[in-house]
Amino acid sequence: MSEGSDIDLLYSILDHIGSIFQIVKDKLAEFLPDGSDQMSENYPRYQLSVNELSINIENQSRRFTQMLEEYHSKFYSQEILGHFNTKTGVILFLIRLLKKLGESEYLSLFYVEVLIFDSFSIQTGFSKILNLTEDYEGSFYILGMMKELFNPKMGFKYKWEYWLAQTHSFKSIPYSWREDFKSLLMKPCFRNGYISEFGISESHFDVGINTAMFRVKITRMQEGLYGFTTPNLYIFIEKFQEPNLLLYKYAIFITLVHELFHYFRRFRCSTIEEVRNITTPENSNYNSKEGGTIGENIIFGGRVKFLSEIGAKYLEEHKTQEFDMGFFQTLIDLNDKEIYERTGVVLKRSSSWRRNCLVGFRD
Ligand SMILES: [Zn+2]
């Protein structure tokens, strides 16, 4: 399909979704006449209406959803280090959304949340994404939304707002910090962790690290989320709200150490489809399926939940000197004790380890 007809298709799907949202809103008004969100007495009738509506949506959307396979293979056959096709990503996302809206279970969760579209339109959100010029920006939104929005159980409304209504800015790591991070990662106590976990050569590791440094972007992540490695190997790290520059710098570094375990697991893949099929082998030594958590265990002896000022100083002072990992481990809090009474960055991320990073336990 040519570029022009892709755009036509995209806007006709957006129009179609816009009309579905309007129908959902009108239906919702019947059950919530005064803008309240209580519908307990109407619930059986409401459930019936959701079921009916999902069947209608499924039928009306068929002309688009039958293209799912075509756009699926077009999207997933992209090379991970090649140009990212944001337009194809948006089309695939929208077709999937239509498919989901045709399922009554999803539609019923979506029903109340659709009220947020009073404050912004879905067209505006996707126009923002389509106007992005950099591959990493398109990758951030599309791959993040695909990861998040079809699992609406937690904070569905918040997530829609985060991905579609908000505009995020991205920064690269400054040159001197990249060099410092590389010096640390090249030390045996860091480097050997990746080499042994993935069975890669030293030169493979060196190439991987040099490539990675240009694919790291700092941005405001969602609450409780500090890192996100996309299937096409961009690494997004939280812009920590930390006034102490040294703590800020090394909070990014510790998160990077974690994300690089996701990165290297995917580095040998050639397409997004291949990345999609990877799963982290369960490692009984560390009782975790989360690749980055396993990595933190390998390198630091446990999950780093807290970085103290003295720990950050040690990293800064030993980036070009001999690094004693055993000693460094005594400077980071692996046990989560009296964490708030001390000076430093909390890296606990979230009370749920599954929210540790957007990659999650799958890979
Ligand atoms: Zn992770």
Contacting residues for 129 by C-beta, under 8 A, at least 6 apart: 86, 90, 138, 141, 142
Strand pairing report for 344-346 and 306-308: antiparallel
Task: Please give the distance, rounded to the nearest whole angstrom, from the Cα atom of residue 207 to the centre of ligand 1.
Answer: 22
Confidence of residue 361 (pLDDT cuts 50, 70, 90): very low
Task: Please give the distance, rounded to the nearest whole angstrom, from the Cα atom of residue 356 to the centre of ligand 1.
Answer: 6
Mean pLDDT computed over 213-239: 92
Strand pairing report for 227-229 and 235-238: antiparallel
Task: Please give the distance, rounded to the nearest whole angstrom, from the Cα atom of residue 293 to the centre of ligand 1.
Answer: 6
Q: Which pLDDT score, from 0 to 100, does residue 242 have? A: 87
Q: Which pLDDT score, from 0 to 100, does residue 213 have? A: 96
| Calpha distance 237→231 (Å, rounded) | 15
Tens digits of per-residue pLDDT, 284-297?
Answer: 677 777 888 889 99
Tens digits of per-residue pLDDT, 232-266?
Answer: 999 999 999 888 999 999 999 999 999 999 999 99
Tens digits of per-residue pLDDT, 133-186?
Answer: 999 999 999 999 888 777 666 566 777 788 888 889 999 999 999 999 999 999
- Which residue ranges make up each domain of the chain? 3-165, 171-355
**Whether pLDDT at 78 is above 90:** yes
Tens digits of per-residue pLDDT, 29-42?
Answer: 777 666 555 655 66
Task: Please give the distance, rounded to the nearest whole angstrom, from the Cα atom of residue 253 to the centre of ligand 1.
Answer: 14
**Whether pLDDT at 271 is above 50:** yes
Task: Please give the distance, rounded to the nearest whole angstrom, from the Cα atom of residue 361 to the centre of ligand 1.
Answer: 7
Tell me the DSSP string of 304-323: --EEEHHHHHHHHHTSSS--
Task: Please give the distance, rounded to the nearest whole angstrom, from the Cα atom of residue 347 to the centre of ligand 1.
Answer: 13
Say whether pTM exceeds 0.85: yes
Task: Please give the distance, rounded to the nearest whole angstrom, from the Cα atom of residue 291 to the centre of ligand 1.
Answer: 6
Would you say 358 and 228 are in contact if contact means Cβ atoms under 8 Å apart? Answer: yes
The residues facing 271 across adjacent strands are: 79
| Calpha distance 166→336 (Å, rounded) | 33
Q: Which pLDDT score, from 0 to 100, does residue 343 have? A: 66
Task: Give, in order, the Cα–Cα distances in Å from 19 to each of 66, 110, 126, 345, 352.
Answer: 19, 15, 16, 46, 37
Quickly tell me which residue has 């720990």 as its tokens.
311
Task: Please give the distance, rounded to the nearest whole angstrom, from the Cα atom of residue 305 to the centre of ligand 1.
Answer: 13
| Calpha distance 343→216 (Å, rounded) | 27
| Calpha distance 331→315 (Å, rounded) | 10
Would you say 236 and 227 are in contact if contact means Cβ atoms under 8 Å apart? Answer: yes
Task: Please give the distance, rounded to the nearest whole angstrom, from the Cα atom of residue 90 to the centre of ligand 1.
Answer: 25
Q: Which pLDDT score, from 0 to 100, does residue 34 have? A: 62
Percentage of the chain modeled with pLDDT above 90: 52
Mean pLDDT computed over 61-88: 96
| Calpha distance 346→228 (Å, rounded) | 18
Mean pLDDT computed over 339-353: 54
HSE (side-chain half, CA atoms, 13 Å) at 177: 19
